[in-house]
Amino acid sequence: MSTNENSRFETRAIHAGQQPDPRNGAIMTPVYLTSTYVQDAPAQPREGYEYSRTTNPTRTALQENLASLEGATWGLCYASGLAATNALADRLVPGDHVVAGNDLYGGTYRLFTKVFQRYGIDFSFVDTTDPKALEAAMGPNTRYVYIETPSNPLLSLTDIEASARVAHAGGALLVVDNTFATPYLQRPLELGADLVLHSLTKYLGGHSDVVAGALVGNDDGLREDLAFYQNAVGGQLGPLDSFLVLRGTKTLAVRMDRHCSNALAIAQHLEQHELVERVFYPGLESHPQHGLARRQMHAPGGMVSFELAGGVPAGNAFASATRIFALAESLGGVESLVEVPPSMTHASIPPEVRHAAGLSDGLVRLSVGIEHVDDLIGDVNRALDAARRVLQTAKA
């Protein structure tokens, strides 16, 4: 039960980083619930394990698995996606500069502006879908170009290869948050990125039962630097959480196929409905970066955002009327979720900043799960009827 770099993705998802226990043949990676390890002599730990903040065998297995899936040489796992982002920022010093997308997860925006900006680190938020805007934002002190593609929540796509050229020409590293796409749909390192970030809470975990994050890359010096800060700050992932994510990656490919097919069907259905003013989904020909999606991604993903006629009241009515789509934050689990980003996941971004990025107050975001597509469309229709009643009441 071994894999190599020539094994297909689905095979590596199940086996990479994991071997049956040599003592008893247990096929699942053990959960090493230990804080410390007995050493053979002073300063002579076995296989490098001395303390679980620094290294843990269950976490090692997950890190090797994720590295294999992203086509990387190493991975580091953290207590959350934001802990992974924090680890990147720990490398910065006063006077450094970061260029980030203006359509960005609210927690990332909050971390950058409310935590690290006060330490003299500068952040510029620009439309990274436009390489010229990205290039114009670069400065002599730019250390990172930080992009989400697809972005959260407008599902805009940034050209990774073009962004890598801009970042590297300015002496910066390109970091790609690949949470929405996962390595099954998109592998940024192959397109020139230096680091890939994941909220493992989402599709890679896949079952809404764990909070975790990761960074993966190829530069050994960068890994050593990040591992130092991880150990010094203590943002590591615990062994049980590591086990849960390992369980999730095994079914990533089959889950993503269903997420994508369901999401496309719902996006097409919404686009034809008279109450829907605009649908954001890279798989639709109406999406401004549809061509880029076909070049850069294996499939367009399981997230759909849209705007309803009637704005906030209609959006709130829709999100409150579903029975299968649960009204909740987060995404990427097997169950379908609905939320309104301006008052939920992106509430930490000031309204004027959201509006400038094109995020309307009436936006609705769907994380389309793997239930039967006909049941999901029926649920969407039920919620659309509720939104229609709100509009009719407003006109009366």
Write out pLDDT tens, residues 181-199: 999 999 999 999 999 999 9
Spatial distance between the Cα atoms of 360 and 172, rounded to a whole number of angstroms: 32
CA distance linking residue 50 with residue 242, whole number of Å: 18
pLDDT of 234 reads: 93
Within-domain flag for 1: no
Tell me: do 340 and 306 sit in the same domain: yes
Please tell me whether residues 30 and 175 are part of one structural domain.
yes
Tell me which of 208, 231, 250 is where a domain ends: 250
What order of strands is seen across the sheet that includes strand 326-327? 276-280, 303-308, 363-367, 337-339, 326-327
- Which of helix, strand or coil describes residue 66? helix
- Domain boundary residue, one of 250, 283, 312: 250
Residues 387, 312: one domain?
yes
Whether residue 175 is found in the same domain as residue 279: no
Residue 4 lies in a domain: no
Strand runs (DSSP E) across 142-220, as ranges? Answer: 142-148, 173-177, 195-199, 213-217
The CA distances from residue 258 to 170, 245, 251, 294, 335, in Å, are: 40, 19, 11, 18, 12
Asked if the bond preceding 153 is cis, omega within 30° of 0, the reply is yes
Question: Are 307 and 174 part of one and the same domain?
Answer: no
Q: How far apart are CA 97 and CA 157, in angstroms?
A: 23
Does the CA dihedral 9-10-14-20 come out positive or negative? negative
Instruction: For residue 280, give the DSSP letter.
Output: E
- Using a 10 angstrom Cβ sphere, with 0-12 exposed, 13-18 middle and 19 or more buried, the burial of residue 44 is exposed
Question: Which pLDDT does position 1 carry in this prediction?
Answer: 45
Provide the 3-class DSSP secondary structure of residue 94: coil
**Dist. CA 299–CA 256, nearest whole Å:** 9
Distance of CA 369 to the CA centre of its chain: 16
Weakly modelled stretches of the chain, pLDDT under 70: 1-5, 343-349, 354-355, 357-360, 396
Strands 276-280 vs 337-339: parallel, antiparallel or unpaired: unpaired
Do 112 and 16 lie in a common domain?
yes
Same domain for 258 and 242, yes or no, is no
Residue-wise pLDDT for 93-105, tens only, equals 999 999 999 998 9
CATH number, residue 266: 3.90.1150.10
Same domain, 241 and 257: no
Predicted pLDDT of residue 353: 72
Which residues are known to be catalytic?
53, 105, 177, 202
Q: What is the CATH number of the domain that holds 243?
A: 3.40.640.10
Amino acid at 327: L
Q: How many angstroms separate the CA atoms of 281 and 297, rounded?
A: 13
Owning domain of residue 346:
253-395
Give residue 280's identity as a one-letter amino acid code: F
Q: Which of 197, 195, 190, 142 is nearest to 166 (CA)?
A: 142
Phi, psi dihedrals of residue 260, rounded to the nearest 5°: -70, -45
What Å distances lie between residue 337 and 202, 303, 325, 333, CA to CA?
12, 10, 5, 8
Q: Examine the domain organization and report whether 292 and 200 are in the same domain.
A: no
pLDDT at residue number 357: 64
pTM tops 0.75? yes
Do 257 and 316 lie in a common domain? yes
CB atoms within 10 A of CB 296: 22
pLDDT score at 391: 85
Residue partners of 362: CB distance under 8 A and separation at least 6:
307, 308, 310, 311, 312, 314, 315, 340
Report the greatest alpha carbon distance in the chain: 82
Pick from 181, 201, 134: nearest CA to 296? 181
Within 232-332, strands assigned E span 276-280, 303-308, 326-327
131: three-class secondary structure by DSSP:
helix
**Of 346, 6, 10, whose CA–CA distance to 184 is shortest?**
10
Same domain? 169 vs 260:
no
